[in-house]
Amino acid sequence: MTMIWISFLSNILILGTALFLLKLHKSQMSSNQFIWFILLTGISSGVAAFGHLPLLEKGLANSLLFVSRILSLWSIYFFTNGSIDFARFHKNKMIRITNSILFLAMILVLVWNNQFLPVMIYGIVGFMGIGLSAYFSDINNVSEPKYYVVRGISVLSFSALVFALFKENYHFLAINISHILVSFSLILFSRGFVGLNLQDEQINSQS
C-alpha cells in the first residue's frame, strides 16, 4: 500500500510542478499553446494519480484514465502547434494537416481501446519528430531557449524510455523515476518557453 501512495504522490508532483511553473512564468509566456501544454500535462497526471488507485471502482478508474489520456493527447497537440508556429511551419499546410490528422486518429484509437499506446505514438511523432524539427529548423540560429526546449524533449523522451524498458520487471521504480523526469522536463520547457518569448521580443525590437 505504501508503494501505491508513493506512485500517487509522484504523479501529483507533476501537477504541482506544472501549477507552480505557470504561477511563476505564465505572464512571461506569450504563447497560449505552451501554457496549455504545461497545464494539461499537469492536470493529466493529477487525474491519472486517482485513476491508478486500486481503491476506486474499476469502471470509475478506467474513466479517469481515459480522461487523463485524452488530456495528454491535447497537451501534445498544443506543444506541436506552438512549435509549428515558432518555426514558422504554419506556412506549410502539410505539416499542420498531418499533425491534426494524427491527433484525431490517436483520439479514435483511444476511444476504441483505452490504452496508453496512442499517447506514446503521438508523443514520439510530436516531440521527437515535429518538435525537434521545429527547433533545429534554423540550425544557424542556435539559442539558449531552444537548447532548454530540446533538453526538455530529451528528458521527457528518456522518461518514456525508462518506463517502457523497465515497467515489467521494475514497475515501481520505473513509474516513479519516469514521473520525476517528467516534472524536471517541465522545468526545462518553461525556461525555454520564456526565453523564446524574450528572443522574439528582441528580434521584433530590432526589426
d(CA 127, CA 124): 6
CA distance 146 to 4: 37
Q: What are the phi and psi torsion angles at 52 (to 5°)?
A: -90, -5
SS3 51: helix
**Average pLDDT taken over every residue of the chain:** 87
pLDDT of the residue at 44: 96
With pLDDT > 90 as the criterion, what percentage of the chain qualifies?
53
Report the candidate in 123, 116, 64 with the shortest Cα–Cα distance to residue 99: 123
CA separation (Å) from 159 to 30, 45, 114, 123, 207? 28, 14, 21, 12, 40
Could you tell me which of 70, 191, 177, 192 has the C-alpha nearest to residue 131? 192
User: What is the predicted pLDDT for the residue at 201?
Assistant: 43
Smallest CA-to-CA distance from 116 within 178, 56, 170, 177 is with 178
- Output the DSSP codes for 134-157: HHTTTTTS--HHHHHHHHHHHHHH
Q: How many CA atoms lie within 13 A of 119 on its CB side?
A: 23
Which domains are delineated in the chain? Answer: 2-206 (1.20.1070)
Phi-psi sector, 29: left (phi>0), alpha (psi -120 to 50), beta: beta
Regions of the chain where pLDDT drops below 50: 201-207
- The length of the chain is 207
Task: Please tell me the predicted confidence (pLDDT) of residue 138.
Answer: 62
23's grid cell = 504561477
Distance (Å, whole) CA 26 – CA 21 = 7
Residue 198, number of CB atoms within 10 A of its CB: 15
Task: State pLDDT tens for residues 71-121.
Answer: 999 999 999 998 888 877 556 678 888 889 999 999 999 999 888 889 999
Question: What pTM was estimated for this model as a whole?
Answer: 0.89
Nearest residue to 138 via CA among 96, 86, 90: 86
Q: What are the Cα distances from residue 160, in Å, to 88, 118, 146?
A: 28, 13, 21
